Amino acid sequence: MTLLEKAGAVNAHTHLYSGLVPFDLPFQIPPTLPFPDILKTLWWRLDRALTPDILSAAARYYVGQALLYGTTTLVDHHESPTMIAGSLDILASACADLGIRAVLCYGVTERNFGREEAQAGLAECQRFLQTRPTGKIRGAVGVHAGFTVSDQTLTDAGNLARQFQVPVHIHAAEDTCDVDDARRRGDAGLLARFIRTRALSEGSILAHGVHLTNDEVRECDRLGMWLVNNPRSNENNRVGYAAALAKSRRVALGTDGFPSDMEAEKTCLAEQIKGADGIVVNPEVRLAAGRQIVRQIFGEKVLLSDRVIMRESPEGREVTAVEIGGERVVENGSLVYATWQSLVADAKRAAHVLWARMEDVQ
Ligand SMILES: [Zn+2]
């Protein structure tokens, strides 16, 4: 048996609110369902059925599991359209209680209640940023995606992010519907729309980029924007392989709501590369890029303070200890600030309530 020390893994795009999905999600996605319908029949019903208790249980379960996988930072993107105000505090408590490092934002959208909904989302980002989150918890300005917001909302999001000097965190070109929408509005492409509306701040985080062009990806690199590749999610939603991302040096790895097992995400990416001719991508480099996002947001010093001790034996590797910001949060393979059993029990209970509530959401 050997002990190995590694830098903590960074999950550069995820959704704590979907933490209960492993508990027997009763909604099956037919294999032919187009991506916009997957959003409508599953994710946009789930996010409207959330309550404070359900969100807290989902987040605590997701965070606890992330720590046990050796993930030390989560870059989260949150939406709960029927419970916007205060929702980021619920996530911040879950993260702070268990000791993980996190970047939190509310994903502004107009898809349910129009511009008023966007204003409530922007207000939640602003309220949270005004609390001056420090230490292991920081804030960003979230936007769901270009195709669910007006130009004015994009501009407002960019302005708010510039005011607080934080990144914008947005889904970008996950599916062709996002690109088609930008063209229908008269822009040459999605990035052109973001630039025209000044939607992005320095170091903004664009999740997916599956249908960005090679030139758009190069331009994101030149502008200092981050792209986040989510291989398991892209496969699951059948939106395509993000081949153009190879044109940027600033591409990190995220799980987009899948459990925060970054080794599994790397393995999935490696499989996808095998099937994509002429694409040279190193999954390890993508995982390491997430640490540069952490450096941008939290400062240089934290890169040394987040580490994972693993035990290697013929049976494989397992995480035995995790230290974040110099604080032990996993010891002897167990969480320090909660028991795994209690997180699972609370999550199971909350999942049962959530699935019932989703039946009533149209
Ligand atoms: Zn996402």
Q: How far is the CA of 77 from the centre of ligand 1 (A)?
A: 7
Say what the pLDDT of residue 362 is: 67
Q: For residue 204, what are its two tokens?
A: 């903004």
Say what the pLDDT of residue 280 is: 76
Q: How far is the CA of 73 from the centre of ligand 1 (A)?
A: 16
Mean pLDDT by 10 residues, the chain (362 residues): 92 97 85 84 90 98 98 98 97 98 98 96 98 92 98 98 98 96 97 98 97 97 97 87 90 97 95 77 94 95 91 90 97 98 98 93 76
Q: How far is the CA of 227 from the centre of ligand 1 (A)?
A: 12
Q: How far is the CA of 232 from the centre of ligand 1 (A)?
A: 12
What is the CATH classification number for the domain harbouring 120? 3.20.20.140
Q: How far is the CA of 276 from the centre of ligand 1 (A)?
A: 23
> Does the residue 321 lie in any domain?
no
> Does the residue 327 lie in any domain?
no
The pTM for the full model equals 0.96
> Does the residue 350 lie in any domain?
no
Are 261 and 69 a contacting pair, CB within 8 Å?
yes
> Does the residue 101 lie in any domain?
yes
> Does the residue 344 lie in any domain?
no
Q: How far is the CA of 230 from the centre of ligand 1 (A)?
A: 8
Say what the pLDDT of residue 207 is: 98
Domain region containing 275: 9-302
> Does the residue 332 lie in any domain?
no
Say what the pLDDT of residue 314 is: 87
How many domains does the chain divide into? Answer: 1
> Does the residue 155 lie in any domain?
yes
Q: How far is the CA of 208 from the centre of ligand 1 (A)?
A: 8
Say what the pLDDT of residue 257 is: 96
Q: How far is the CA of 332 from the centre of ligand 1 (A)?
A: 32
Q: How far is the CA of 255 from the centre of ligand 1 (A)?
A: 8
Say what the pLDDT of residue 311 is: 94
Query: Rounded to whole angstroms, how far apart are CA atoms 120 and 295?
Result: 30
> Does the residue 334 lie in any domain?
no
